[in-house]
Amino acid sequence: MRAEFDADLRELVARGLLHHDRQTNRYDLHPIVRRYAYDRLGGAEREAAHGQLRDYFAAVPPPERVQRLEDLAPVIELYHHTVRARQYDEARTLFRDRINRATYYQFGAYQLRIELLRALFPDGDPSTSSGQAALPRLKDKSAQAWTLNALANSYSLSGQPRRAVPLFEASNAIDEKRGNKVGVAIGLGAVAKVCYLQLGALQAAEANLRRQIALFREIKDESWEAVGHLELGRLLAYRGVFDEAEQHLAAAQEVLDEIGPEGTNFVSVVRAYRALRALLMGNVKAALEAARRALELADETAHAAYPFERDYVRAHWLLGAAHRANDDLDEADRHLSEALTRCRGINAVDREADILLDLARLRAATGEQDEALRLAQEALLITERSSYVLQGADVHLFLAQMALEDGDKETALEHAGEARRLATCDGPPDYTYKVAYDEAGALLQRIESG
C-alpha cells in the first residue's frame, strides 16, 4: 500500500501536477490542479475542508522568535483557512496576536497585510466604497475599528494615502460613537501623520494632532501624549515654525527617553525628527548629531526588542542627507545607498522619493548630471502616483534648479511653478511647506527677472 502511494506521488511529480520541495519535504499541488479541485467542492464542503486544514495548522507550534517573514508561513496558512471557513472573528484575533506586529514593525510587509486584512471585508472593497468605507464582517465594534485602522495604516505606508483616508475616518467614527477616547486619539494621530501631512492637508493634520494631545492629556496617558508631541513637532518643522517644533520634540524626547529603547522605538524616531528639523533650518552639525543618535537608538531597540526596519530607513536617509549637506560625499553615498536598499526591502514607498532625491543631489554634486536627472525623475513618478505633496515640491525644486543650470529657463519655470503650487498646501501665511514655498518663490523671481 505504501509502495503504491509512493509510486503515485512520484508519477504526479513527474507529470508536473504536484510540486515537491525536497529541502522541506513538502508537497504542493500545481495551482491549476488546486483551483480545479477547489472549484468542484460545494460551499459546505469547502468550509469543512478549510476547517480541517485550520485545525492542522493550529497544531503547528509557533517559533520562539520570528526572525524571517518565512517563519510566519504556518500562521498565515492558518489565517487563510480560518477566513475561508468564514470564522472572521477568530481570523482577526489570530492576525492581531500573531501576525500584526512582525509584519508591521519588523518586516514592513504592507502589501501582505493588505491582502490578509482585505479578506475580512467580504462585502466589498473598503477603500473605494461610495459614501463611506465598507465594514469588516466582525461582531465586535472595537474589532471593526481596529481592523479598519490596521488596513488604513498598511495602505498609507505602501504609497496609497488616499485609499487610507476613508478607512481611518470610518474607524474614528466607530470609536467616537463608542466613546473610546484612546481609539479616537490614536486614529486622529494616524490619519494626520501618514495621510493628511503627506497629502499637504497641513491644517487638518495640525488640528488632529492638537486634539490627540489634548485627549491623551485628559486620560493621563503620558507616553501616547509624547507621540502626539513628536508628530506635531515634525509638522511644525515643515511649516517653518521651528521654535515651537523644538518645544514639542523636546517634550516628547523627555518622556520617551524615560521609557527607553526597551519599551519604545520612538526614542529613535524623535532624534530623526530633530535631524529633519535641523536640515530644514540649514543646521548641518545638529542634523548630523541627531541622525547619528537616531541610528544608534535603532540598534539599541533592535537588541532590546527586535529591529524596527523603518527606523533604520529613516536614520540612514537623514544621516546620508546630512553628510551630503556637509560635503562628506562618500559617507553620504554609503548611508543613502543603505537607506534605499532597506527601503525597497520592505516596500516603504512613503520614504523612497526622499531617498532618491537626496541621491540625485549627491550625484549632481559629483558631476553625474544624467544619473541625477534619472533619480529625480524616478522620485517624481512616486510622488505623482502617491499624491505626495511635500516630497513632490522638493523634487520639482531640484528639477527646476537643474534645468536653470542647463540654461533651459522654460523647463525651470515650469518646475518652479509646480513646486510653489505644491508647497502652498493649505495656503499662506500659516499653512505652507515653508522652506520649499520660499525657495520656489525666490527661484521664480530669479527666473522671471533673468
Quick: pLDDT tens for 253-310. 999 999 999 999 999 999 999 999 999 999 999 999 999 999 999 999 999 988 899 9
Q: What gap in Å lies between CA 195 and CA 202, rounded to an integer?
A: 10
- Give how many domains the chain has, as a whole number: 3
- The boundaries of the domain holding residue 416 are 357-450
Last residue of a domain, one of 325, 347, 369: 347
Q: Is the domain of 291 the same as that of 374?
A: no
Q: Is residue 102 part of a domain?
A: no
Task: Give the 3-state secondary structure of residue 16.
Answer: coil
So what's the pLDDT on residue 67? Answer: 81
Domain-embedded: residue 62? no
Report the mean per-residue pLDDT for the chain. Answer: 89
For residue 56, tell me if it sits in a domain. no
Tell me whether residue 428 is in a domain. Answer: yes
CA angle 170, 173, 177 (to 5 degrees): 145
Q: Can you tell me whether residue 199 is helix, strand or coil?
A: coil
Domain-embedded: residue 279 = yes
Q: Are 71 and 99 in contact (CB under 8 A)?
A: no
**Whether residues 293 and 381 fall in one domain:** no
Confirm if 12 and 18 have CB atoms less than 8 A apart: yes
**Closest by CA position to 61, among listed 98, 12, 109:** 98
Query: In the listed set 305, 327, 347, which residue is the last one of a domain according to the structure?
Result: 347
- Intra-chain end-to-end CA distance of the chain, in Å: 90
Query: What is the SS3 assignment for 160?
Result: coil
Mean pLDDT of 183-212: 96
Residue 301 belongs to a domain with what CATH number? 1.25.40
Place of cell 494631545: 213
pLDDT at 27 over 60: no
- pTM, rounded to two decimals: 0.82
For residue 1, the model assigns a pLDDT of 56
User: What percent of the chain is predicted at pLDDT more than 90?
Assistant: 74
Q: Is residue 92 part of a domain?
A: no
Is residue 397 one of the residues assigned to a domain?
A: yes
How far, in Å, CA of 92 to CA of 83, rounded? Answer: 9
- Domain annotation covers residue 247: no
Residue 429, preceding bond cis, omega within 30 degrees? Answer: yes
Mean pLDDT, rounded, for 92-109: 91
In angstroms, rounded to a whole number, what is the distance separating the alpha carbons of residues 435 and 127?
33
Claim to verify: residue 382 and residue 320 sit in the same structural domain: no
141: amino acid identity, one letter: K
User: Angle, to 10 degrees, between the axis of helix 141-157 and the axis of helix 110-118?
Assistant: 140
